[in-house]
Chains A and B, each alone.
Chain A
């Protein structure tokens, strides 16, 4: 795999050249539509998912194609409709529900972590919970502390759920199809900055070629989206693009950075991360969730447990500090990760002080 810019728009070796470019929003809606067409048990519920097509574009066109019985606008009660989805999944349906902002998980968490996540275990495997909870994450556009959180680690910490976070449209479609087909509850976290909604800004690397046919990307497999020799940069969602941008800057200074896109945090692909860190000897994790007890901590611990002797320097994590996300754009961008922060941290680890 080359280490050129091509790795951003066509991050997987098996991908052909861009022909049919889509945003993550469009690819999510296309994935849901294809699964709805293939399986009458697949249903969609949430706030503004019908006529509006989802405030982040995730359900565009579904109401027209499948009608109000299968694409249902709900009242603003996550407690009600996400609880209902758990029951529907127990009864054999495959609901896809949207929690508009992950920040609102508080009012529906009992249905998620005490009911959905435990249904299969408590029933001795007799009652599965094939539901998908899709939810927007991330800030950077001045929406303040109740509409900008990521909370990856909050969901990754609790057993019984799978948690996926796509960084580009190709992966978003494949992960959504895999999530709908999975018999376990899957939390599908999509980053607002990657969604392709103009008013949120759009990271160009998130718009990729998306094959028209249906395809599933295995849940639990990370992707190496750029190969390198000197340092391993691990990102998820939006931070993958910051890591890739930093890798290009590092290349110009003579350093070869490998970039791993986690794609899934539960289950976590420790094998791919450890193998890369063993080879490069340096590990930098870039996360836009809160720092303490976070994704970076889990990854660094996993690598230290398995490969401490192969590391050339102490692993480093970049994350949002342990404070609520500031409203002021100046303060918000001061605390969020960026390509510049990744590059600076990597240069320090590489001992490059020029």
Chain B
């Protein structure tokens, strides 16, 4: 299992962030480096890449608030 974690420092501290889109469904196979999710901070989006290839397990649903350092899913 490899965690998919939101990197620190993508945006200014304190801004509200939401997980806007999962590009793959729970259980899909994803390649290492694929853009799997997008985080929206105000009107700017940040891409989250998969740290490894494998099966995606989604931990945080779309539209939920997220923070830097948070694990949003796992790859097995």
Contact = CB atoms under 8 A, between A and B. Distances in A.
Interface of A: 18-23, 55, 57, 196-199, 202, 207
B55 interface: no
A18 B20 contact: no
Contacts of A198: 18, 20-21, 38, 40, 45
A207 B43 contact: no
Nearest to A57: B45
Q: What are the 10 tightest A-B residue pairs by CB atom distance, in nearest-first order? A: A198-B20, A198-B40, A21-B23, A199-B43, A202-B21, A207-B23, A199-B40, A21-B24, A198-B45, A196-B21
A63 to B, nearest CB: 16
Contacts of B38: 196, 198
Interface of B: 18, 20-21, 23-24, 28, 31, 34, 38, 40, 42-43, 45
B35 to A, nearest CB: 8
A196 B23 CA distance: 10
Contact of B21 (A18, A19, A55, A207): A207
B29 to A, nearest CB: 9
Contacts of A18: 24, 28
Contacts of A21: 23-24
A113 B21 CA distance: 38
A53 B21 CA distance: 19
Nearest to A60: B45
Given A197-B43, A199-B42, 9 more contacts: A18-B24, A20-B34, A21-B24, A22-B23, A196-B21, A198-B21, A199-B20, A199-B40, A199-B43
Nearest to B18: A198
Nearest to A22: B23
A20 B20 CA distance: 18
A202 B20 contact: yes
Contacts of A207: 21, 23
A197 B23 contact: no
Nearest to B40: A198
Contacts of B31: 19
Contacts of A202: 20-21
22 contacts: A18-B24, A20-B34, A21-B23, A21-B24, A22-B23, A23-B21, A23-B23, A57-B45, A196-B21, A197-B20, A197-B40, A197-B43, A198-B18, A198-B21, A198-B38, A198-B45, A199-B20, A199-B43, A202-B20, A202-B21, A207-B21, A207-B23
Contacts of B28: 18
Contacts of B34: 20
A24 to B, nearest CB: 12
Nearest to A197: B45
A58 to B, nearest CB: 13
A202 B18 CA distance: 13
A149 B45 CA distance: 25
A41 B31 CA distance: 35
Contacts of A196: 21, 38
A207 B20 CA distance: 13
Contacts of A197: 20, 40, 43, 45
Nearest to A19: B31
A202 B31 CA distance: 23
Nearest to A169: B23
A197 B44 CA distance: 9
